[in-house]
Amino acid sequence: MKTVKDYIRTIVDFPHEGIMFRDVTTLFADPRGFRMCIDQMLHPYAGQPIDKVVGLEARGFILGGAIAHQLGTGFVPVRKKGKLPGTTISQDYKLEYGEAIVEIHDDAIEAGERILVVDDLLATGGTAEAGIKLIERLGGDIIGCSFIVDLPELGGRKKLQSMNMDVQVLCEFDGL
């Protein structure tokens, strides 16, 4: 029987030489693989009240929408700066090659709402950390962070766990 990891292809030297890109679009394209992924991402949180699912740009939108649908709850995107209409709050974070900024609508989460954060891949944890900070500034209570892939050598999981986050991943890949 196939696992979620079996549906993910690796593209060598993308987007730069020496990078092993873990491509989840092949997982999303397969109906059995995609259903398995969503079910497994939800499993650790079965029975817990979740008010909203927050998806991190951009593949987190695909996962977050599907998970929110399964839970019968709302979905909130955390987007790159300048992509959301209306009033937003921003958080900057470091990338391997510079800095970036993500935003969330300032009315997207009410104080005390229980939030599940989702994305496809956990590398350095910078984007997830920025999203967590935005949610916390709005008063959200993060019950967990769920990812398909972890790249443990880059330390993102440890970073989020040091922030007292519950981190769930479906599979790991060695290397960058």
Report the catalytic residues: 59, 96
Q: Please check whether residue 170 is in contact with residue 149, taking contact to mean a CB–CB distance below 8 angstroms.
A: yes
> Which of 28, 82, 74 lies closest to 52 in space, CA to CA?
74
In the 3-class helix/strand/coil scheme, how is the chain assigned residue by residue?
Answer: CCCHHHHCEEEECCCCCCCEEEECHHHHHCHHHHHHHHHHHHHHHCCCCCCEEEEECCHHHHHHHHHHHHHCCEEEEEEECCCCCCCEEEEEEEECCEEEEEEEECCCCCCCCEEEEEEEEECCCHHHHHHHHHHHHCCCEEEEEEEEEECHHHCHHHHHHHCCCCEEEEEECCCC
